[in-house]
A and B are shown apart, each in its own frame.
Chain A
């Protein structure tokens, strides 16, 4: 007998197993320390910033934007698989139960965003509305929970519509209306009623749109699920090797042409050549490097304390070069690198040179941020600190990791 509830349980367990395995990679010691450091810094400055908040600050707008976004952002994961459209399509009627369960799961799972955002915004609310009580705030959170449930269900229903533009358009309008609801609610205007009526009109319109469609759009659902999974893997791949992602290749023709042109045609350039091309093309090395460089640059630019800027400089250098170590192991299943008539030492040496260079390049980029801030002394400090870090980290840590 086919039981949709059992099937859902099975798929959910599979998914949890997968999450478990990868989350362990993500939340390893290094990453947690970095994360904690960043969160603490942000919260300290958030607190300070709140205390000197000017009365003209459009707090209602900011709160409405955040809450509106949170209740409208409802990605749905239904754990469908490619073969389902062949095997389960005959059971579409029974599958309703399955999808009900998946909606419940998605709602409960997404609640963490609501809680994080409402916890983060609570101090701001208390600061700008001193006359309001905690109860008032909880009412807003409660409304957020309701609206989120409603939006989630609507998102689900809208999957029956195959037009991507219609779905996108509907999502954008509902997001804007949700924001408007919070905004009018916070301003306590009567206008809130108008907005809510508008929202229901929209809901009724959607209802009639959907009613005209028969059956589920399996293709869309499955594609949606695969995309969700792919973006999860992409996220994880920032922290660990993801075997499911083996075939992600970016051609990057200009950069590779440059490498082919620049690297001399010489025996000793063999591994430098291989590492450069792999860095440019395979999975995510280059994009991770650029992401962390840009992010680090922004953080260094905006963190108010100069010494803290330097601390972040080292933190980002560390995070980047730590990630890059996996480039060395990128070809561990490829026997050619063992068969080339080249000493194994050359391979480690080439890698150490390469990682030193890209870390130094990043150091210079980070140091340039201090030039942009016209902090010339700290520009020097940054360079020296980056140099010392690069030398020590690569000689003491990376070298041990890549010695064969």
Chain B
């Protein structure tokens, strides 16, 4: 079966500095994959390559068999991106953000109207529908990003550190929606530092360290690799960095 997202032998980074070295992993439909790594490990760079803000130096990224180069429009249509730092238009209200996103992704008006109420309800933003970003807290800004992504229901979600800044209810709503989308057949790549949460909801993990993949697989597979049965993701991760330091 063709993977939803397939990254093979990706080397990349910024113009004169390679950050990622020969990275390969893939995501299937209906799968949540956690992208784990310390600050500076290359998580955000990986994400930038996937969403097409950086061009790969070698290797290939395909989504449903499509590459950005061949067909940028239909490639981009597959992706819903939730950035770590919310990026909003200062001049647009929440409603207008949602409407613009829907238009950009070619949703028709009926679908937009049908999906909107449930999202507003879930993220408790009904009252803020006509507010401007200046009046939003960090958590609300983050919610705008999340709502925009869930509104368009893409086949692949690329999520960069979703939990920071969200209140507990917001986190729960995010997780509920993510699981719902997963059950509908979408794939999720989620980068995070909150390992306890990741452990509970991710089907597999990709552990990135200094630009290379140190390990990947399900929690069970990782435990076997490290020979630490019963270990949590936190334990495994700390063990891994210890090994690195000893080398």
List residues of A whose CB falls within 8 A of some B CB: 246-247, 249, 251, 256, 260, 265-267, 269-270, 273-274, 277-278, 281-282, 331, 334-336, 338-343
B108:A331 contact, CB within 8 angstroms: no
B99:A340 contact, CB within 8 angstroms: no
Query: Which residues of A have CB within 8 Å of B53?
Result: 335, 338-339
B77:A341 contact, CB within 8 angstroms: yes
B108:A339 contact, CB within 8 angstroms: no
A341:B51 contact, CB within 8 angstroms: no
Partner of A270, one of B51, B74, B75, B100: B100
Query: Which residues of B have CB within 8 Å of A339?
Result: 51-53, 76, 79, 81
Query: Which residues of A have CB within 8 Å of B74?
Result: 341
A273:B100 contact, CB within 8 angstroms: yes
**In the complex, residue of chain A having the shortest beta-carbon distance to the beta carbon of B152:** A341
Query: Which residues of B have CB within 8 Å of A251?
Result: 132
**In the complex, residue of chain A having the shortest beta-carbon distance to the beta carbon of B74:** A341
How far does the alpha carbon of A339 sit from the alpha carbon of B89 in the complex, in Å?
14
Partner of A342, one of B81, B99, B104, B109: B104
Q: Which of B36-44, B90-98, B188-196, B217-225 contacts A (4 or more CB under 8 A)?
A: B90-98
- Known contacts A341-B77, A342-B73: A277-B91 contact under CB 8 Å: yes
Query: Which residues of A have CB within 8 Å of B90?
Result: 246-247, 249, 282
B96:A277 contact, CB within 8 angstroms: yes
How far does the alpha carbon of A80 sit from the alpha carbon of B106 in the complex, in Å?
52
**In the complex, residue of chain A having the shortest beta-carbon distance to the beta carbon of B48:** A335
Interface 0/1 of B59-78, CB less than 8 Å to A: 00000000000001111110
A340:B104 contact, CB within 8 angstroms: yes
Decide if B209 is an interface residue (CB 8 Å cutoff). no
Decide if B112 is an interface residue (CB 8 Å cutoff). yes
Instruction: Tell me the smallest distance from the CB of A238 to a CB of chain B, in Å.
Output: 19
List residues of B whose CB falls within 8 A of some A CB: 51-53, 72-77, 79, 81, 83, 87, 89-92, 96, 99-106, 108-109, 112, 132, 134
B108:A265 contact, CB within 8 angstroms: yes
How far does the alpha carbon of A274 sit from the alpha carbon of B93 in the complex, in Å?
12
B76:A265 contact, CB within 8 angstroms: no
Instruction: Tell me the smallest distance from the CB of A404 to a CB of chain B, in Å.
Output: 13
* Extra A-B contacts (15), CB below 8 Å, given A247-B90, A335-B53: A247-B134, A260-B99, A265-B108, A266-B103, A267-B104, A270-B100, A273-B100, A274-B92, A278-B91, A281-B92, A331-B89, A341-B72, A341-B73, A341-B74, A343-B73
Query: Which residues of A have CB within 8 Å of B52?
Result: 339
Partner of A336, one of B75, B87, B109: B87
A265:B91 contact, CB within 8 angstroms: no
Query: Which residues of A have CB within 8 Å of B112?
Result: 265
How far does the alpha carbon of A277 sit from the alpha carbon of B92 in the complex, in Å?
7
- 15 CB contacts below 8 A, A to B, read A247-B134, A249-B132, A265-B102, A265-B112, A273-B103, A282-B90, A331-B89, A339-B52, A339-B81, A341-B72, A341-B104, A341-B105, A341-B106, A342-B73, A342-B104
Query: Which residues of B have CB within 8 Å of A335?
Result: 53, 83, 87
Instruction: Tell me the smallest distance from the CB of B202 to a CB of chain A, in Å.
Output: 24
How far does the alpha carbon of A251 sit from the alpha carbon of B90 in the complex, in Å?
11
Partner of B109, one of A265, A270, A331: A265
Query: Which residues of A have CB within 8 Å of B75?
Result: 341
Query: Which residues of A have CB within 8 Å of B73?
Result: 341-343
For B79, B90, B102, B132, the residue with the greatest tally of chain A CB atoms inside 10 Å of its CB is B90
B76:A341 contact, CB within 8 angstroms: yes
Instruction: Tell me the smallest distance from the CB of B112 to a CB of chain A, in Å.
Output: 7
A282:B76 contact, CB within 8 angstroms: no
